[in-house]
Amino acid sequence: MKGYYDLHIHTAASPCGDELMSPHNIVNMAKLNGLDIIAITDHQTSCNVQAVQSVGAQNGLLVIPGIEIECIEEFHLIALLPSCEAAHEIEADVRKNMLKVKNKPEVFGHQYCFDDQSEVIDELEDFLLVATCQTAYDITKKVLAMGGVIYPAHIDRASYSIISQLGVLPEKPFFTALEISKTAHLVQYRQQYHEHHIIQSSDAHYLQDINKRRQFIELPEVSIEALFSWFKQLV
């Protein structure tokens, strides 16, 4: 069966995320757009994955716990975890290895945490758009050890991508998947990186940016287990 997806969505916990990116708004927009699977991937935090997952479960939408991590090499990685607890554990490890800088909401925006009623229950004080001092290799090992999957984000971009920072894909760690932006040429990247799964997600910071029912993954069922199994298979 086809699982229509968007595996890179920010909530209002990301300083660059619009304040309307609440659990109910995200789930409702994803459903309106005909999606089956989404992932919540805020910068360096997983504080809203449980709330969005709860709302998603009530509305027939599979929500994958995730986090977007900036490694010491200064490119972004998308980590998808099998549970909220695993995502929180990865977050704790990332955050303890970050430079502590206070956010300036008037400049960068608020970093809101929600409950499953989409009510703001907290605001993160530490600025999240800061790299961790861990290497991509070390982050990858930790995510895989917890049963998750991980891959470089928006490799087509001129900043914060593995290609813009390193020039090439490294031999280690080897990623089974690569993400491209929603405006990138999917066929071109599939031909160029034919040994990898190519994921095309929105990196949505605003509701209107969430993917429409376009990109899909062939799965035996719509579940975290089936999705992760697909990711771990070599092309």
CA–CA gap between residue 41 and residue 76 (Å, rounded): 11
Q: pLDDT by residue (tens digit) across 66-102?
A: 999 999 999 999 999 999 999 999 999 999 999 899 9
| Range of the structural domain that residue 85 is part of | 2-232
Q: pLDDT by residue (tens digit) across 144-159?
A: 999 999 999 999 999 9
Q: What is the mean pLDDT of the chain?
A: 96
- Is 235 a residue whose pLDDT tops 90? no
CA–CA gap between residue 136 and residue 172 (Å, rounded): 9
Banded model confidence at residue 234, pLDDT cuts 50, 70, 90:
confident
Q: pLDDT by residue (tens digit) across 165-182?
A: 999 999 899 999 999 999
CA–CA gap between residue 210 and residue 49 (Å, rounded): 16
CA–CA gap between residue 65 and residue 40 (Å, rounded): 6
Q: What is the DSSP string of 183-214?
A: TS-HHHHHHHTTTSEEEE---BSSGGGS--TT
Q: pLDDT by residue (tens digit) across 97-153?
A: 998 999 999 999 999 999 999 999 999 999 999 999 999 999 999 999 999 999 999
Percent of the chain surpassing pLDDT 70? 100
Q: pLDDT by residue (tens digit) across 195-221?
A: 999 999 999 999 999 999 999 999 999
Cis ω for the linkage preceding 82 (within 30 of 0): no
CATH code (residue 176): 3.20.20.140
Instruction: Please indicate, yes or no, whether the overall pTM of this predicted structure exceeds 0.95.
Output: yes
Q: Where are the beta strands (DSSP E) in the chain?
A: 2-9, 37-40, 62-70, 76-80, 112-114, 120-123, 149-152, 177-180, 197-200, 216-218
pLDDT of residue 198: 98
95: buried, middle or exposed (CB in 10 Å: 19+, 13-18, 0-12)?
middle
* Cβ atoms within 10 Å of 222's Cβ, excluding its own: 18
DSSP reduced 3-state for 177: strand
Beta bridge partners of residue 40, listed in sequence order: 9, 65
The residue with tokens 């089974």 is 176
Domain count for the chain, please give it: 1
Residues 206/20, Cβ–Cβ less than 8 Å: yes
